[in-house]
Amino acid sequence: MKKLILGLAVTASSLAFAQKTTSSSNPVTFGVKGGMNVSSLSKDEGLDDQKSKIGFNAGVFANIPVAESFSVQPELLYSQYGAKSEYTGFGSKFSSSTKLDYITVPVMLQYNLIPNLYVEAGPEFGFMVSAKNKIKNENNGDSTTSDNYKDDLKTFNFGIGLGAGYYFTPNFGITARYVAGLTDTFKDNSGDAIRNNVFQVGLAYKFK
């Protein structure tokens, strides 16, 4: 909860800063965005094969001009992370589908290369809301789902995002971003850290 408050405080601070730095000619704009996630977890030595998992992201944002060609964009998103994997054990082959849902608060510094094309970078704070892991025995088709999987995981996730976007009109644009996780997703991990990684592509709409 403290980390969630911290993330929201960062967003609120950005909005407060905007009131001091923006003018009527460069007002704060608000919008909505959504799209597809292609997520994965960094390599776990115990797994034979790891694959990406498809999910979605959706939420709201504020774009805050801070200087000519520069702006800060805090966002509040619901974002699905996770991965698929395969491994062998007890003479059988198993497949696993891990679904990790987060409320994320990215805070991106954006630079406009041209008026309608920007590049961005910044931190992302993630707060887990649910986690499920479904394991299927490929030999006999039996499957089980761990509804309490969240108990084994850290509820806070931190990453760094790099991306770009292009607005076809003053309101409507396309976005792309890669977020590399920097924190371990597991509470008691004695091996190498297993981190969230996600590529996002989607659409954004600014209200003007």
Host H or E run for residue 191: none
Helix residue ranges per DSSP H, 38-196: none
Average pLDDT, the chain: 86
CB 208 within 8 A of CB 27: no
Q: What is the pTM of this model?
A: 0.83
Number of residues that this document lists for the chain: 208
CB 95 within 8 A of CB 76: no
- Give per-residue pLDDT as tens, 18-63: 455 554 567 899 999 999 999 999 865 555 567 889 999 999 999 9
